[in-house]
Structure formats: C-alpha cells, structure tokens
Structure 1
Amino acid sequence: MTTTQFEFLPNELIHYLYEYLDDYDIYFAFNQLNQRFYNLISNHCKWSSLNFLNKNKKRFNQICHEVLPNITYDHILSLSLCDYYPSSFIFSHLINQISLFFKQFKLEQFINIRILKLFDIQTESHLIEILSFSSNSLHQLYHLHIKTYQISAASIAHITLLFSSSLKQLILDTNCEIRFYNTEISRSNIEYLILKQEIHFYDLKYFVEYLPKLKYLNIMLSDIIYSDNIQLIELEKLDLKIHSNETVENLQHFLKQIPKLKNLKLIGYNVNDKFIYGHNWEFLLLSLQKFRFIFQHGSDCLNNEKSVEQILATFQGFDMVIQCNYSKTSIVVCTLPYVENYQNLEFETKSLSNKLCFQPYRNVHKLKIQELPSDNRYYSTIQSLELFNIISNQNIQNLFKYVDLTRIKHIIFFGDLNLLTNICQITSNLISLEITSEYPTLEFLDSNIELCQIFKQKIKHLFIISYDWFPQEKLKQLYKTFSNLEELTISLKSGNDIIELINHLKHLSYLTILYDDQEIRECDRQRWLKEKTWLTTFSIGNSVELGQDIMTIWIE
C-alpha cells in the first residue's frame, strides 16, 4: 500500500488541520485509511453538531447507522433536519429525513441539545408529536427554527416547547396566522424572534406581552394602529416590513415606544413619499447605530440625482456614513458598510454618500446584476453571481471593474456567452453553473474549445432551468462538455433521453429530472433503471410539483 506524505505529519499537526473541517468531512475522508487515523478521528470528532440540511441520502444513512449508535447522545448540542433537499435554487425533492430520523431516535434522548432546526415537515401531527412531548426533557434548548406549511394557528399555540424556559431564539416560518390567545402560556425568555408570515398589529401587541426580554424582532405587519403600551422595552434590533396604507405618524408612534432600538431595517412597499425624508426620523437617527430604509415607489420625480441629493441632505448632521442608492423603482438609504450579504441590482443603480467608507460592500457575498450600476462601487467578496442580459463590450469590461471574479464558486447566467467565457478564464474556484436551455449555450461551445475544456474541468454541479424540454439534438454536446458532472438538474421529455443521459455521465452522484413520459409513471422505475443503465446501487424518489413529474436519483 502506498504511503502518502500526509501520513508522515505528527498527530498534533493533523489535529490542527482538522479544526478547519467539520466532523462529516473528517469522517468520510479519513475513516478508512488505517488504524492510526481511525484513532485520530475517534479522539477529534465529538459529533456535537448533526447538520443534515445539505446531506444526501447516502450520507444521512451512514451517519444514522454507522456513527450515532457508537456515540454518547449527551454530546450532541445541535440537530438540523429537513424533509426536502435543495437540488438547485429552484427545485427540491422529498427525502423525509425527519420521519426517518425520529423512527430511529427520540428527541428526548438528546437531553443537552441547544439548537434544533426542523424544515419542511409534511404532517401537522408529526410536528406536534415531536415538539410537544419533548418539552419536559429539553432543558438546554436555546434555538428553535421551524419551517412548515402544514400546520394551523391553533396547533402552534399549543406547542409547549415554544415557551420552554431555556429557549432564547425562535424562528417560525409557516403559512398560518400567529395568535397566542392562550391564558395557560407563561412568560417566555425568548430574546430573538423571526416571524416569516404577515401578522396584524394587535396580534403582535398581544404576542409580545409574553416576551418581556425580546431584543431582536423580524416581522411583516399587515397594519399599524396608533396604540400605546407596546411591550418592547428591551428591543435593540428591528427588521420591519410595511405596506402602502400606513401613515408616517402611526409608524413614528410605534417606533417611539422602543427606547433601546439601535439597529433598524425598514422596508416600505409603495409607501407615501413622506417616509423617505430624514427629518421624519430625526428622533431615531440620534440613537441608531445602523439602519437600512428600503422604499419601493412608482414616482419618476424620485429617480434623479437632484432629488436624491435633496433626500440625502435630510439625513445630514449625524455621525455615521450614509449612502443613498436609487433606481427607477426604489430608494435605499442605509449606513455603510452594507449590512446584508445579498444585493440585487435590478435596474440601473446610482449612489450618493455623505462620507467615504473603506470597502463598503465587504459583507456582500451573493450578487444579482440585471443592469450594471452607474457609480464606482466594487464587490470584493462575491461567491455567487447571477447575471442577466449584460451583453455589450463596454458592460463586459465594466463588470471586471465592479466585481472581483476570482472568488466566485457559483454562477447563474442568462446572457452573452463571450462574457461567460471571460469570467471562467479568470475565476479559479468555479464549480457550479445554472443556465437555461433557451440560450444557445451548447451551440456556442461547438466553436469555443477553450470554454468547453474549462467546463469539463471545473463544473461539477449543473442546473439547466427551462420551461421547455431539453432538446434531444443537444444531448450529445451536453455529455461532451460536462462529462465530469456530479450533480445535474434537467428537463427531459422521454424515457429514452433519460437512459441515454445516465449512460453517458459516469460520475453522477445526484440527478434531478423533470419528465413527461406515461410509461415511466406506470413502471417500476428502480427495475427499469437497473435494466437500462449502468446504475446498480441507488435510491430513487418521485414527486409532482406545479403539475410536473420530478424524479430524483441518489447514486451510491
């Protein structure tokens, strides 16, 4: 057996290197090497965090059957499960992690768990069973995140785990109203709360009476009533979305009842122009440390430089760097550096600032560009870049002025393919690409050998998003160009195309196919694939989303 140079490293240095990897990567990379590395793994991997959110079925089964039976459950501090796996930015498929996990384990076994995330639970009774009967044993639970669209408001109000004395952070992402009109509920210690669904003002007022220690709140209000005695005396950070029917006076009155507010993000949809001017927020700006006001509007008088200068002037006199970004649909007034990790340049965007700021966009890691901005901004930390219809040579050159392309790992691309070639020549970290079959990407590759070689070497994950079926005549070019794919999402009309695709892509580990073939719907798909393709050990799932059949295949 060949000995690698890595194996000559001392144990102390290997432990140091392991600090940069999670337990999953360490286990699956080094577990089968030799007894020495097995002992190193046993000493290092504590498995305090079980995060299955982006784990395929094979990894999920290995952890549940190989690892968990051999560790002490008391060491597990975090558990994250999801019934859907995000195969791309658009599609996902059902894998039932939650039901499979809790058939083998009970939540109350993990008595020291501090973080629990349950996403896309499919049945209301299952969620209630998991959370209600475990509340008496999970005394260390600190963070709870629930995402489900299969639960009623009445059921949420009676999940006692939501009001565990140890719980400090709660995120609820549901499609039902939040109403806790339950006299049996005691005061909660929650300090951090995100409600993804829209709620009424009086429901919020009643709800926060149970949350006297709340410090962060993220909500969308359907209305704001001029009302006193809002119990938000400890709140320091607020993310608030409002609609066009609100008045500045009602919002001002609400915010004045939050005495410790330091960080405010306010999004207004088609609100009155009065919301935009700084003198309406003078009572806040003297105490705020960070803010971001986003006002969507339909007024032509607000998208010119003179008007924006007037708006920015109303925010002068405060000891902070303030920038005003404006386009034909919105105005964003915010402190710098930019606080969000995602930015969308949907229309031609310009900006004015009251002061200079070093690297104002250093927090932005995901960028979507539909029109290049008209100022001198620069994004140095982008990892995911989404581009639409940037086609002129001038725009191609300008893109390099705006974005450091060397860090990009994922590209969503709809536009001029010469630009894509230039980007791929520069970035060394690119592994993932999302395109649409409507654009002539594959025809372009026939005459661009350089880009074809780049794709073959770099692209491991490909998502072809389309409202139509992938043309059969383009399949040969697809196999040639992306021969080393490990993951693919594609729409194929016939079963013959599916068979041909699988037999040409030998490195696939995960495949999502939208199809339209009655024969496939009615047959034994597991047997059909074994007989027609090179696949031997694999798992298969089938679902229907938005009227389309979706087949998912895990290849082991």
Structure 2
Amino acid sequence: MSEMQVMMKFEFLPNEILMECYKYLNAPDIFDSFDQLNYRFYKLIRNIPLHVDFQYVSKSSFDNFCRKIILNPENLKQIYSLHLSNKEMYGQIEAFLSIFTFNEFSNLQSLILTQVKEINMNKLKSMLILIPKLYSLRLIDCNIPNSEIMAVLTISKLRILSIRSLYFVPLAKNETSVITNLTVFGCLLSDLYRLFQYAPLLKYLNVGRLPDCHEVIGRGEDFINNYAFHLRQLIIDEYGYEFEDFEIFVKQIPNLKSLIISAYDNIDIIDASRWEHLIKSSLPHLHIFKFKFYYSQYGKSIIADKFNQFQSDFWLKQHHWYTEYSLKESLGRTTALIYTLPCIADRFELKLDINRYYNKLINNFDVFHNIKYLSLDSEILSKECHYYFSNVTSLILKCKSNLFKRDSDRILLKAKHIKSLKMIVNLYNLKHLDISFLCKIESSTILLEILKQSPNLSSISVDPNYLLSLFSDNELCKYLNKMIKKLDMLIPSLDKFSKIEQFCKIFSNIEQLKCNITQLDDLLFLLNNLSKLSILKVSDTSTNKFIYKFKDEASKLNIVYYLRSYHDNSYDKICNLDLSIWIGKKTN
C-alpha cells in the first residue's frame, strides 16, 4: 500500500477518532506532520487540547513549533501540559522563557521542568504564580533549593507535586495544602510527620531516600499525632531508619492500601514475624506489599533463615506475597538480596557469581518483568542461567575485568552466545545497547545478528576502534544507518578516527552523538555533515585556542551551547572541556 493510499484512508476518519489519536501524540510532532496537509487538518489541530513535551525534541522542531504559536497566540490556550528540559538540550528553558510568559497559558494544568538552572530562577519565580489553572508541577533533577520556587506556590491550588526535598514545608504557619500526590527525592522521617499536618488530603507519597540521620523523634512531640487518614499508597526507595521507627510511623497512616519499600544493610527490617504483626495491628487495609532488602554479612545461613520465615501461610496463602532471594559470595563475605515477586527493581546487575534461590512450584516467568536496565556479565552466556528478563530496554554487555588474564584467555563473544542471550533477554523491547565494556567480539556478524533480533534498538554505546573495524561489513552498515539514532563513543577521540567522512555517511540519520574531539575542524565537519543531528556532547583535552575559535564559529550557526572547562592551575590553562550543543537548522 502506497503512502498516498495510507494518507487517503487516514483522511476518511471522522474528527472524533482523529482527536482521540491526537491525545497520544506530542504537539510539536502533530504540527510537523499535519499542519501543511490540508485545510481540514490545519483547523482541526488548532481546536484540540495540546500536550507539549520538548524533552529530546530537536531545536529545529522547537523553533518551528514556537514560531507557529507566535503567529497565532490563540494556540496558547490549547496547551494543557508542558515539559521543558535542559537535559541534553542546555538552554531550552531559557530559550522558551525568552519567548513566552506563563500567564499566556491560561489553560495550562501540568508543568514539568527538568534540570532547572540558576539562570532560569528569576523568570520562573515571577511567572509560576501567574498560571491560574496549574494543578501539577514536577521539578526533575533540579539542584535549585525548593524554597526558591515553592515560596510562590505554597498557597496555590497544586494537587500533584514532585520536588527534591521537603524544606519548603512551613513549620510555624497554620497553612495547609490541597496536595494529594507528592514525590520527593529525599527527606527525614520528621519531615514526613510535619508534612501530614501541612497536606492532610495526601493520597499518594513517593520518597526516594529516607536516610537515618540519627535524629531523635520523641513520642510526645506534637506532630506525632498528625494522621494522614487519606494516604493510600506509600513508596520508599531507600529506608534507612530502624524498624521501630517505622512501626511508630505507620500508626499515622492507618488506611494505607499499598506499601512498596526498599532498604539496604538493615538486617532488622528483614523480619517476617515482625512485619506480620505490624500489618495485622496497624495496617489492616494493606492489600499490596512489595519489598526489596539488601544485606551484606559474613556467612549465608542468616539470610536463608530470614527467607524461610516468609514462607508461612500468612504470606503464601492469605496474601499470596511470594519471595525469593539471591546471594553473591566474595572473600568470605555474602551480599544478599531478598525481594517479593515480581521484583520491584527497574535495574539489575547479573553477575557470574550470583546464585538465585526460589520456589520451583511458583511460576517464575515474570519475576523480572519490571527490570528495564540490565547489566550482564558476558561470561554468563557460556553457563546455564535461570534468569529471564522480558521488558529490558537498556542492556550493558560486560567483560569481567581480570588483569591477570592473558588477552587470549578473555571471553570472546561468539555467534553461539547470541542464542544464550535470547534465552535470558527478550531483545524485542531493547532500545539501547552498550558494548563498550566488552573485551572481544568474534566478528561483525555478531552485532548484525543482535540488530536483526532487536527491531526497536535505536541507541548504542561502542568503542570507536571497534566501530571502525565494522565499516567493511556493508550489510551491518545499512542496519546501523537505518536503526541507530543515538550513538555514544566517548573513548578514544573521534578525531583519531581516520574515516570521519565514512562515519558521517554510515550514521547520516543520527540525532544524538557523544564523542571526544580535540580538533575544531572535525567538530565543524560533524555539524555541517550530519543533517539530522540535534544533540552533540563533546568531551576531551582541549586548549584556550579551541574555545575561542569555537565561540567565533558558533555565532554563525543556529545552536545553543554550554561550555564547562577545567583549569590546570599550575600551568594556568584549560586542561579539559565538556561541550554540550543543541543544534537547529542553518539560518541565512
């Protein structure tokens, strides 16, 4: 079926169905794809709610969308959600705020800001309070103190909030919030007690780190009796306090239905009898209980006994909360991980010396279906393995480092290992592959087979020296050209890469590139010959001359860049350079 036939069938769809489809599309993509088709689509996309996500959007698409919005300011009323990000695209937030003010977005309800910089703060503080319908604010990976932004929002109508810490919570004011959904990167247990007084309507709470800072919380303190009656779901990624502190804390959340908790090196919290008593006495409505507990010790008998305690009728028959554990032994020390099924982690490191202990009567097929990021020792591909990862999107293949091995004795990734790899990992969902840590690969056909088995793969990290050896394989080069949109090859320098012209032809569709460059001419060659390149990150030893010449050339290009230089004080010169470039189409 031709593209014209597909478009004609798409045009036959009624507006109601098209509008449903548009809900799943990013606004810049909608305008890029449908704005110039015909008058019907032109009018339709200007009368639908728009969800704008600028993260990883090319500068050209960013410029194009902003230009169209400026030409028709009424479109600002269509925008209901907005995501601005400086991650990988330094200067995006500043560029946006130089064009628009938030009070122009009269219907904006959800705002996400990623990696806010100091330079953005003055404008943000003056603008955020001007958004009349804002109910969701997420500050992601921001090192700016919360007080800088929250000072203008503490009495707002926010219901969903994601922030770094809870320092903004007023301690002396009789002020409350209508927040129902809160995510915080880290805080203290005492902060949560105060939070319950400040946000009595809280239903969902996600805490990244809850480290034990040896604070003393007296049972008679006023905030101990701030009950969060509405809290239904609690997630703690890293609990560091004693079990006794948690037992006191959960008395404030009697209606909790879901608890997900992780802890590290805290043997007291791995206590099935104590958990059973706590759930029966303080959490009668708990239906979902998931945990992941790490512990390091000498000897392995303790963790086996701990695991067996979770095999009683209360766990298996009454609640169907199943567990298993794994052990890694090294130099007489045992590292243990015990977890409920399926494992709640999204990252996993599978090493050769890890032993897994599980109930063979239980269906173990989906135990690791939450794992998205997997690091895999390549030696495992030559052994029997009892793990299967069905939803991995990022895979690192590693060669176990051993300085005493001869190079000829190191693992060689062969064709037979690909069969083993497919028995461990479902390659269909794979989006990123990192083979920069591999010692040896038998031939280019190995990588070619992985590409063929991974139809959604679009990102790869690889050693440039190895990549150079692949250029003689024409079939592999065609797959690389077609599939790879993001490439990371920081070591060694790309300018030592003798076939840079061939590189640009093979990776002509690349959109994001990380590499090391010391010669300005090579950097300019990439900018001028990779037409789809949107994000370029460069890191290498450099000189003052490089920087001055780059700044001069940058003024002629449609780019936004960030330079971070490191000085050698003994020689009073720049010894290293990190350069991030957000690239747009050339302007006349």
Aligned letter for 2:393? Q
The separation in 1 between residues aligned to 2:138 and 2:479, in whole angstroms, is 40
The separation in 2 between residues aligned to 1:397 and 1:10, in whole angstroms, is 41
Listed as ranges, the matches of 1:301-312 within 5 Å are 301-302=299-300, 306-307=304-305, 309-312=307-310
Work out whether residues 134 and 158 of structure 2, in 8 Å CA contact, stay in contact via their aligned partners in 1.
Answer: yes
Hey, what does 2:489 align to over in structure 1? 464
Aligned letter for 1:269? Y
Work out whether residues 121 and 148 of structure 2, in 8 Å CA contact, stay in contact via their aligned partners in 1.
Answer: no
Hey, what does 1:435 align to over in structure 2? 462
1:355 matched to 2:362: yes
Hey, what does 1:297 align to over in structure 2? 295
The separation in 1 between residues aligned to 2:250 and 2:529, in whole angstroms, is 61
The CA deviation at 1:498 is 2.4
1:209 matched to 2:197: yes
1:110 matched to 2:114: no
1:451 matched to 2:476: yes
Work out whether residues 350 and 375 of structure 1, in 8 Å CA contact, stay in contact via their aligned partners in 2.
Answer: no
The CA deviation at 1:187 is 1.1
Aligned letter for 2:205? L
The separation in 2 between residues aligned to 1:144 and 1:153, in whole angstroms, is 12
Give the 3 Å change call, closer, same or farther, for CA 53–490 of structure 1 in structure 2: same
Alignment partner for residue 234 of structure 2, among 235, 238, 241? 238
Q: Cα deviations across residues 10-32 of structure 1 (Å, max 9, x unaligned)?
A: 63427546445433223212323
Work out whether residues 226 and 254 of structure 1, in 8 Å CA contact, stay in contact via their aligned partners in 2.
Answer: no
Give the 3 Å change call, closer, same or farther, for CA 539–204 of structure 1 in structure 2: same
List 4+ stretches of structure 1 deviating above 6 A. none
Work out whether residues 69 and 75 of structure 2, in 8 Å CA contact, stay in contact via their aligned partners in 1.
Answer: no
The CA deviation at 1:49 is 1.7
Hey, what does 1:257 align to over in structure 2? 252
Query: Structure 2: 5+ residue runs without aligned partners?
Result: 329-334, 401-410, 567-575
1:78 matched to 2:104: no
Give the 3 Å change call, closer, same or farther, for CA 475–283 of structure 1 in structure 2: farther
The CA deviation at 1:275 is 1.6
Alignment partner for residue 516 of structure 2, among 491, 506, 509? 491
Work out whether residues 122 and 148 of structure 1, in 8 Å CA contact, stay in contact via their aligned partners in 2.
Answer: no
The CA deviation at 1:149 is 4.7
Cα RMSD of the aligned pairs, angstroms, is 3.5
The separation in 2 between residues aligned to 1:446 and 1:63, in whole angstroms, is 38
Counterpart secondary structure, 2:358: strand
Aligned letter for 1:163? I
Alignment partner for residue 159 of structure 2, among 152, 163, 168? 168
The separation in 2 between residues aligned to 1:157 and 1:113, in whole angstroms, is 18
Work out whether residues 320 and 335 of structure 1, in 8 Å CA contact, stay in contact via their aligned partners in 2.
Answer: no
Aligned letter for 2:562? N
Hey, what does 2:547 align to over in structure 1? 521
1:319 matched to 2:311: no
Hey, what does 1:512 align to over in structure 2? 537
The CA deviation at 1:400 is 0.8
Aligned letter for 2:51? S
Please say which of residues 447-456 and 25-34 is displaced more in the overlay. Answer: 447-456
The separation in 2 between residues aligned to 1:520 and 1:10, in whole angstroms, is 51
Q: Cα deviations across residues 380-437 of structure 1 (Å, max 9, x unaligned)?
A: 3333333322856575432211222123222222325355343113122222212244
The separation in 2 between residues aligned to 1:12 and 1:447, in whole angstroms, is 47
Query: Structure 1: 5+ residue runs without aligned partners?
Result: 87-92, 531-536
The CA deviation at 1:188 is 0.8
Q: Cα deviations across residues 245-283 of structure 1 (Å, max 9, x unaligned)?
A: x32222222224321222222222221x22213112103
Hey, what does 1:534 align to over in structure 2? none
Hey, what does 1:66 align to over in structure 2? 68
Aligned letter for 2:493? W
Counterpart secondary structure, 1:208: helix
Give the 3 Å change call, closer, same or farther, for CA 232–74 of structure 1 in structure 2: same
Alignment partner for residue 399 of structure 2, among 389, 397, 402? 389
Hey, what does 1:23 align to over in structure 2? 27
Q: Cα deviations across residues 83-121 of structure 1 (Å, max 9, x unaligned)?
A: x132xxxxxx422x3333333332223233221112222
Work out whether residues 157 and 182 of structure 1, in 8 Å CA contact, stay in contact via their aligned partners in 2.
Answer: no
Listed as ranges, the matches of 1:129-140 within 5 Å are 130-131=124-125, 134-135=128-129, 138-140=131-133
Please say which of residues 258-267 and 505-514 is displaced more in the overlay. Answer: 505-514
Counterpart secondary structure, 2:248: helix
TM-score normalized by structure 2? 0.78
Hey, what does 1:277 align to over in structure 2? 271
Q: Cα deviations across residues 282-308 of structure 1 (Å, max 9, x unaligned)?
A: 035554333332222221434899557
Please say which of residues 63-72 and 275-284 is displaced more in the overlay. Answer: 63-72
Q: Cα deviations across residues 500-540 of structure 1 (Å, max 9, x unaligned)?
A: 5456545534433224243221126453796xxxxxx6324
The separation in 2 between residues aligned to 1:8 and 1:257, in whole angstroms, is 60
Q: Cα deviations across residues 221-262 of structure 1 (Å, max 9, x unaligned)?
A: 233746342433322222225566x32222222224321222
Alignment partner for residue 541 of structure 1, among 550, 557, 561? 561
The separation in 1 between residues aligned to 2:512 and 2:369, in whole angstroms, is 30
Counterpart secondary structure, 1:85: coil
Aligned residues between the structures: 525
Hey, what does 1:401 align to over in structure 2? 423
The CA deviation at 1:194 is 1.4
The separation in 2 between residues aligned to 1:258 and 1:491, in whole angstroms, is 52
The separation in 2 between residues aligned to 1:496 and 1:200, in whole angstroms, is 52
The separation in 1 between residues aligned to 2:495 and 2:456, in whole angstroms, is 30
